[in-house]
Amino acid sequence: MQRVDLRSDTVTHPTEQMYQQMAEAPLGDDVFGDDPTVNQLEQESAERLGKEAALFVPTGTMANSIAIGTLTRPGDEMLLMEDSHIYLYEAGGSSRLWGVHPHPLPSVAGCLDASDIAASIRPDDPHQPRTSLICLENTHNMCGGRVITAEQIAPVAQAAREHRLKMHLDGARLFHAEVALGIPAAQLAAEFDSVSFCLSKGLSCPVGSLLCGSAEQIAEGRRLRKLLGGGMRQVGVLAAPGRVALSQGIDRLAEDHRRCQQLAEQLAQLPGARIEPNPPQSNILFVAFDQIDSAGYQQMEAELEALGVRVLAIGERGLRAVLHRQIDDEGLQRAIEAFRQIRSI
Ligand SMILES: Cc1ncc(COP(=O)(O)O)c(C=O)c1O
């Protein structure tokens, strides 16, 4: 029997329509700017986020990295959340690649707090790095897919304007926020100089992310993409499913949100269970249990795997489950049953 894979929404395979479009896409050499399918995807992405231009890159990590590289100078400092993907899981790229010093701050309901920002901005002093960039994340992965609202972003943007800081949004799952809040992604992107989003998380593409920003930033981003080895050739075969994802894949994210809420309701009934966030806001949840430590969660992960259900044990935070297109109602029920079995209900 097929496993119910809740480790991430990156595990999805392309849809039939995506395969068809991959086979039929007009192609060219994208390093020469000749791939019409990539050009269309970039244009549609920029329009969708209300930015002047966009750049197609293989991964969210590369999109974030290029954003940091284009919005800073070597020796600058950036403010970001201590549990953000950029800080935790991108191999320290900002310092290694661009000489940019990360300054982690606590996340408050998945966002930075404007007073923490104000207190962290460096004075103009030759002993200190220049604070030049703020990064946020929407939805916030390690906060259990929390959706960041325009009201949360506004005071951060105000602080950025007052202190002339740039703003980048890691919007790997920005369309989940669009669906959860019922407001266009462009509205959530408006305060940011640049925004990245991923086609391969929840949207079922095999690969691909976009960085959207000003025409000037994206032109410089093209240079940095080349520097990183990310200049690709007949890559319309990968942009084609991206176009399908943007036109067909976003509305159905609501189904993943619904199943995530159902999963939360059922897991909350297990003895000693705590759901974070409760209720879930998008397609991700964490479940933790009283008196279980990280070794205990590893053990639970293995027990669930033996029952054909895969989740991720993440340190002391508990087990992370992520809903996506390949988890239907039956898969959801199997996951719930497996949890009940290992918690002996
Ligand atoms: C919030 C967030 N940002 C960025 C990334 C990086 O994306 P990629 O794995 O495509 O490099 C991820 C990956 O899961 C993510 O969850």
pLDDT digits (tens, 9 = 90+) for 263-292: 999 999 999 999 999 999 999 999 999 999
Q: Is 132 in the pocket of ligand 1 (CB under 6 A)?
A: no
Task: Evaluate whether residue 9 is within a structural domain.
Answer: no
- CATH number assigned to the domain comprising residue 139: 3.40.640.10
222 lines ligand 1 (CB under 6 A): no
Indicate the residue among 248, 278, 301 that finishes a domain.
Answer: 248
- Domain housing 234: 16-248
| Tens-place pLDDT, residues 286-334 | 999 999 999 999 999 999 999 999 999 999 999 999 999 999 999 999 9
- How much distance in Å is there from the Cα of 91 to the middle of ligand 1? 12
Q: Looking at the structure, tell me whether residues 280 and 208 fall in a common domain.
A: no
For 178-207, b/e burial (b = at least 16 CB within 10 A) is: bbbbeeebbebbebbbbbbbbbbbbbbbbb
Q: What is the mean pLDDT of residues 239-246?
A: 98
* CA 275 – ligand 1 centroid, Å: 23
Domain annotation covers residue 8: no
Residue with the bigger pLDDT between 343 and 34: it is 34
In this predicted structure, the answer to whether residue 1 has a pLDDT above a threshold of 80 is: no
Q: What is the mean pLDDT of residues 137-164?
A: 97
Does residue 11 fall inside a structural domain? no
Pick the atom of ligand 1 nearest to 137's CA.
Answer: 1
Q: Which atom of ligand 1 is nearest to the CA of 63?
A: 11
Domain endpoint, select from 214, 232, 248: 248
pLDDT per position as a tens digit, 192-220: 999 999 999 999 999 999 999 999 999 99
CA of 196 to the centre of ligand 1 (A): 10
* Average pLDDT of span 28-49: 98
Query: Relative to the CA of 64, which ligand 1 atom is closest?
Result: 4
In a domain, 190, yes or no: yes
SS3 category, 47: helix
Q: Residues 85-142: pLDDT tens digits?
A: 999 999 999 999 999 999 999 999 999 999 999 999 999 999 999 999 999 999 999 9
Distance 340 CA to ligand 1 centre (A): 31
Q: In ligand 1, which atom is closest to the CA atom of 201?
A: 14
Mean pLDDT of 216-239: 98
**What percent of the chain has a predicted confidence (pLDDT) above 90?**
99
Query: Which of ligand 1's atoms lies nearest the C-alpha of 200?
Result: 10
Question: What is the reported pLDDT for 297?
Answer: 98
One domain, residues 319 and 194: no
* 85 ligand 1 Cβ < 6 A: yes
Whether residue 298 lies inside any domain: the answer is yes
In the chain, the percentage of residues whose pLDDT exceeds 70 is: 100
Nearest atom within ligand 1 for CA of residue 8: 14
State whether 134 and 49 are in the same domain.
yes
Determine, yes or no, domain membership for 10: no
Residues 284 and 199 in one domain: no
Q: Verify that 105 and 244 share a domain, yes or no.
A: yes
Look at residue 76 in the predicted model and tell me its pLDDT. Answer: 98
Mean pLDDT for the chain? 97
Evaluate whether residue 5 is within a structural domain.
no
- Count structural domains, the chain: 2
Domain co-membership, 278 together with 234: no
Mutate to test the pocket of ligand 1, among 7, 11, 89, 209 (most ligand atoms within 8 A of CB): 89
Helices (H), the chain: 16-24, 36-49, 60-71, 85-89, 93-98, 114-120, 150-162, 174-181, 185-189, 215-227, 236-248, 253-267, 294-306, 329-342
Same domain, residue pair 243 and 279: no
Residues 258, 230, single domain; the answer is no
Domain end (from 248, 280, 299): 248
pLDDT band at 345; cut points 50, 70, 90: low
Judge if 41 and 75 occupy the same domain. yes
| Residue 137 in contact with ligand 1 by CB distance below 6 A | yes
Pocket residue to mutate for ligand 1, from 80, 111, 141, most atoms within 8 A of Cβ:
141
Pair (304, 235) in one structural domain: no
312 and 267 in a common domain: yes
How many helices (H) and strands (E) in the chain?
14, 13
